[in-house]
A = this chain, B = another copy of it.
Amino acid sequence: MTDTSWLNQLQDNGCRVTSARRAVVETVQGSPRALTPVEVFDLARQRYSALGLVTVYRTLEKLEELHLIQRVHQPHGCQAFISAGHGHQHLLLCKQCGQVEFFDGDDLKPLTESIEQRTGYQIQEHWLQLFGLCEKCK
């Protein structure tokens, strides 16, 4: 998915394409790591120096609504965003460099069914995240 397509999607949802949004979109889109709003702000200002932090928050909110980005939960904090995976995916995070990757192929059916049996719960969703070292960092 390219920058243009993100901007197009924003446009298709009644948003206008502006320099501020372009800067935020290009920054988040091009990052292999999850970025906090302030990190996005600092990086995106290299592209558009008049950018305000408030606009970063607002743009991230819109991008999240459109499922173009998603929040990343970590032991240290949960304010960071990464461009979203497609469909149902799980996260793989490098504890060293912060790189985020997605993987699918989760065959959790047997596990969830056994838990449903054991606990009486009706399971609707699951979150799975793996933490480790990426190829470069290990």
Which residues of A come within 8 Å of B, CB atoms?
73, 78, 92, 94-95, 101, 103, 105-107, 111-112, 114-116, 118-135, 138
Measured between beta carbons, the chain B residues less than 8 angstroms from A94 are 121
Given contacts A114-B105, A124-B95, contact A119 B131 (CB under 8 A): no
Number of copies of this chain that the complex holds: 2
A111: min CB distance to chain B, Å: 7
Cross-chain contact A119 with B92 (CB below 8 angstroms): yes
With CB as the reference atom, state the residue of chain B lying closest to A105: B114
With CB as the reference atom, state the residue of chain B lying closest to A71: B75
Q: Which of B106, B129, B134 contacts A127 (CB 8 A)?
A: B129
With CB as the reference atom, state the residue of chain B lying closest to A103: B115
Q: Which of B78, B105, B126, B132 contacts A124 (CB 8 A)?
A: B132
Cross-chain contact B115 with A130 (CB below 8 angstroms): yes
